[in-house]
Amino acid sequence: MTTTIDRTETSTEVLGDYVANTSPTDIPDGVLRHAVVCLLDTAGCGLYGSTLPQASIVRDMLVTGGSSGDAVAWGGGPRLSAPDAALVNGTAVHAFELDDLHPRSIVHPGSVVTSAALAAAALRPETTGRELLTATILGYEVAARVGSTMGAAHLLAGWHPTGTHGTLGAAAAAAKILGLDAGQVANALGTAGSQSAGLMAAQYESMVKRFHAGRAAQSGVYAALLASRGYIGIRDLFEAEYGGYLGTFSPRVDASWLTRGLGSTWETLAVGFKPYSTNGSCHPSIDILRSLYAEEGVRRDDVASVEITVSTATVKHVGWPYVPDTVTTAQMNLPYITAVVLTDGEAFVDQFTPERIEDATLVEFASRVHVIADPEIDARGDGARHETRLTVTLNDGRTFGASRDHAHGSSHDPMSEDEVRTKFRRLAATTLSQPHVGELERTVDGLADAPDLAGLTGLLGRDDRA
């Protein structure tokens, strides 16, 4: 479906019409296929995340508080209400910095959109697999477009884009699952936008960054449920002169991202996957460091110092001096990550245990890593936000240097589907037996033809660890 925009409508209403009236047959095959891989990656991230305290504490709180319903908590446990399932599952998917990423918007859409869509589907048991994929794609599109209106300016202002923009994507997906009409979807978006929240100070210390994704998913479900009952949201959410979403959340916006190319340009295809369990802004540096480790034999004990030149957004996001605190602190900190990659040649889950992040040798080495902002990178705009130049100086005076414009796993240098599947199997095996890991993979692969979601949710809700 290609949408014709009536300029008398608000952008909120245009998006509402787009979400309500896009059918499964309007989704190109390539977009549908990419959404299947996104769902597989999200499932692996969520199952692994469900084993961590960042998510289990939330789940236990909800169960103790009496939440009950028909929606599964991924990785096992009692069934929850739909909004509460979105909260715990969204938190689990984002629990270890492994979930997918749309680069311009800086949104991790799987954690918020997929969690909300599956939670809403618990209220509509007749939902088919293709309907779930369609709703997920539309949620990805809305979150990515909203976030792209402001890009890194929103992050630099201190906001966590997954917690803010993700709320809109979650509302769109839940509204689509529930079958809302165009006006109701617009109301859902208008209600969701007023719930958007998430402060980037959470990256320095705390579990709260993970909770942002869960709350965004939950808020999206709430917004859709309210709209289905006639609740009126902000109909000019984005461009309202006072208190509108764009002007309030960013000093620099391009509102055209909201509606241009609707139905013909698919931002879902720009969503990439993460081979490392760290903040995405660190990934180009990790790519360079792993190459030096494998090809040049560079090891931490041989290195005197490391200089990394990046954008101002990357410096603020991940370039601050490392002081051990929570696992989140280490995953968001480029000096620590540099130290552990030059030690292990890797940056996956084992590099971010409570014990490793306090290793005195790694902490000391992190002080030798200098992250510097380059105004020339900034001048090239958001598309250059991940440009990285890295120089390693050895103790004997030799230097090694390299640069990358984009990370492996991004749409510019995609992970192969085999790489994504290997990652999924490794993560899903933390809660499922190998036969059930394989069954879940086959179920996701066949989702476009599935008459219902019982097989998918039954596997996501299992816990074979006992």
Cα 253 to its chain centre, rounded Å, is 21
Separation CA 254–CA 296 (nearest Å)? 44
DSSP state of 238: T
pLDDT at 171 over 80: yes
Q: What is the pLDDT of residue 112?
A: 98
pLDDT at 3 over 80: no
pLDDT in tens, 264-278: 999 999 999 999 999
Residues ≥6 apart with Cβ < 8 Å to 418: none
Q: What is the pLDDT of residue 230?
A: 98
Mean pLDDT calculated for residue range 67-76:
97
pLDDT in tens, 302-358: 999 999 999 999 999 899 999 999 999 999 999 999 999 999 999 999 999 999 999
Query: What angle, rounded to 10 degrees, do the helices at 129-148 and 29-49 form?
Result: 90
Greatest extent of the chain over all pairs of C-alpha atoms, in Å: 71
4: confidence class by pLDDT, cuts 50, 70, 90 = low
Show the domains of the chain with their CATH numbers. Answer: 11-270 (1.10.4100.10), 280-404 (3.30.1330.120)
How many CB atoms are closer than 10 A to CB 182?
Answer: 18
Query: What angle, rounded to 10 degrees, do the helices at 29-49 and 434-445 form?
Result: 150
Mean pLDDT calculated for residue range 82-99:
98
